[in-house]
Structure 1
Amino acid sequence: MLPSLARLRWEGFEVNVAAVRGVDLDERDDDEDEYEDESPPFLGGPAETALLSCIEGEGEPPLELLLVAVACAGSGEVRGIPVQMMRDDSVSELDLEESNIGVEGGMLLAYLMPVMGGLTSLNLSSNDIGGYWDDIREEIVSTPEGPKAIADALLVNGGLTSIDVRQNSIAGDGAVQLAAAVLGNLNINFFNEIPIKEMRANSLTELDLNGKYVGVEGGMVVAGLIPVMGGLTKISLANNELGEEGTKAICEALKQNKQNKILKELNLSGFMGTNIGGAAGAMHVADMLGVNGALTALDLSSNCLKDEGVSAVCAAIQSNKETKLASLNFYYNDIGTVGANAVAAMVAVTGALTECNLQYNPCIGKKGEALIRKAMQGRAGFKLRI
């Protein structure tokens, strides 16, 4: 990458590139073990100090400039990222899973990826690229700069065929841009273990991504490919941390593709929590169910739907005169009496339904169970698990 470059100028700062080439990026503080409850700085103290000495200008140089300087002339490795080897395009596969590279590492990789025609496989899973857990605020703090930078790099990189960014708390605009970049790059065969090449070719009748943790961005990619998968009869996106955003994308795709009468089974179940974003995600499922007349089996178990989410889903099924839904799984969803009333009202008028699982919803209570059983009267063979 520009081997003869001597000076780099950016927003009032000037970088002595030759001096950057002499910086040992591996050099770190001896006391980094002190960072037990938080991540150490991306660049070790001595390395960052040496880099800053290569930059002239007033004030503190922007992070982007430091990373560009490293990408252009850095030697050695940073958090396992082989900077010089990547710049020389001598890396074909790079596995950085759980390397703690953070948003800075994602941005650095993005600066290097455009010159790497030989890189075919990149694993960036579990690196806090899109966000990190803040113990004080007790919430995930979003860092969209990392996913956005990688998305921009994917638009110009023509070598990658497999990329994995799972478990990085990617959401919002970062997820949208990353999914769009993946869908726009026809060389990518696998993204977050999603078989994109096969999906584009419409060669699947079943898509099983159970437990792959494809994330919000993965859900958006699947949604983008649903319209071309006319032969698909079954989709399992169980236990994938889709969140409300990923669920919305999936449901919108299914809603717009309602003329497809082939897809019969949809699994959106979670595991000891939620997969679709709780009741908020259930609203998008309900919107889809209101117009879908082909699904015969829907699994929403372990999604913390509560009364609000279950009521919305049941109302949508009840209102759809074309529904063919025969099996409905509400296992472990914290359903109370209000939700039980909604289930009873739906069961009473949905003739296609033959099976409903309401196990591990103790708040339904005896009164709620009695209402549902009353709605079942005259339905020979109806299976109720409660």
Structure 2
Amino acid sequence: MASDDIAQLADAFSKTHVGDGELSYKGLGLKLDNAESVEELVREIEQYQGLTALCLEGNTVGVEAARAIAKALESKDLLQRCYWSDMFTGRLRSEIPTALKSMGSALISAGTRLTELDLSDNAFGPDGVKAIEQLLKSPTCHSLKELRLNNCGMGIGGGKILAEALTECHKQSSALRAPLRLRVFIAGRNRLENEGASALAKAFQRMGSLEEVHMPQNGINYTGVMALASAMRHNPELRVLNFNDNTFTKRGTLAMAQALAHLRNVQVINFGDCLVRSEGAIALAAVLREGLPILKELNLSFGEITEAAALVVAQAVAEKPHMEKVDLNGNCLGEEGCEALREAMQNMDKGDMLASLSDDEGEPDDEDEEDDDDDDATDDCNADNEDIDDCNADNEDSEIVKENGVTKEDSPAKPQSLTEVMSFISCPSAEKLTQLGEMRTNLQQQVDAADPHRAADILLKITALYSEKLETKTVVLETTDAMLKKLLSGTTLQSYCFLSTLLVKMGLLKGEGKMKKVSLVPGQLLCLEHSVQQDYFPQHHASLLRAFLSKNREAFRSCSNARERLSSALEKRCQDQH
């Protein structure tokens, strides 16, 4: 090596940070190609007694240099933290796995017990994950608390290898009665997609110890999101959840909402640029009302959320005493919607927590309102056993409509009763409803918040029969009361899912997939006018309906008077103090 190069390296090494057990060469920009180029570095490692952390970030290490460093690490059994991000800039992809394997083997030989491993910003791909597989499975990583693999190009294959390694690590460490308790997992920008994410979800669920999960920009859609959501539910200490820039859509968001309903320690949720949309936002608002007691930050930016849904979120956020920031930028509010949201937050004395709305996409036009979602376009609005649409996947016994439209446990004792009830549902009329008499109890058994599509469909059929004829009016309102009392008595998430489905069918909310909208008649709105004034109809449910009803939509063309009556009832209900 030329004397000038040696002098340059010596000068760089003189800037080494040493202290508190850490040896750091961070950001020195060293080009370490061979054993000669790392002689000084190796000497410092060898002479450092009590070395617990080694930072090589921001340098570029070749195969021969890595082997020399590895040799020095074989005696460092106290090493706990390896900050080895951005360590192979300019290296051939084929070199990186060899370098990683030699350094990982040295840690195993030394008998180290790592707590932190950071290999972010190293484009090593699946082969790189394969190179650290044995390290991750070994006792060296049984004590691992933080694993950072951001921007490593792992891909689906790398994600599967990583998942298997973590699973094996947990299995072996559990056998020794000291199970792996990984707290922080970071793997953004890795093209994991659904298969990689689903594989990792199984490992996460097995560990159950995660506190922070960061997996932004991984090309994951609702299939992978649902798997991850299930895993998150089994990690009760979760504090930070960052899935920014993946594609949730309705199914994924509802799955995440269900998981969040079981978590009490979450402080930061980042679902920005995840296509949460309005139905998903409403589901998350439900969880905000009922859970997440110490939430501080919520990011739902760039999610195609409309004004009314954003207002529902704002109302829910206002109830969180520790809330510091809510980001709804880049959605579809429009100028008036942005102003309404700002005003609402100010009125709740929460204006300072609302992030900028400078990138709002504007209110969607009519054509956008009719578009079906690409991912969920195959949804059948009458499907009774969709994985997530049931909003009550936690209770396997709650699935309904298995045979002839009823559950086995709800089947009426008399077959004739069932026949008459099903005859009414297939072709409803005021006369049939009246003739059912006491069998209307069996009709109520046909609706369940676990199947919001069917429940909304039956409710709208019944309320459409409303008339001012006393006998008909009485029986319709009594039946409506009984059904809504049942549908709104479950969790807030269940009832919000039902109400959002009802709004979609009424044409007041853009939904995903193929869902037939009804042609509204005044009776349906008049029944709701009656219902929202009853004790079983919570104030915040009324606020949800009011947010959507306040928009003048084409659906009300034939029933403007009924709309005004419902609007007035909702406004009065929302002003009531409880």
Give TM-score, length-normalised by structure 2: 0.35
Looking at secondary structure, tell me which structure has more helix per residue. 2
Q: Which has the larger radius of gyration?
A: 2
Q: Which has the higher contact order (CA 8 A, sep 6+)?
A: 1
Looking at secondary structure, tell me which structure has more strand per residue. 1
Give TM-score, length-normalised by structure 1: 0.48
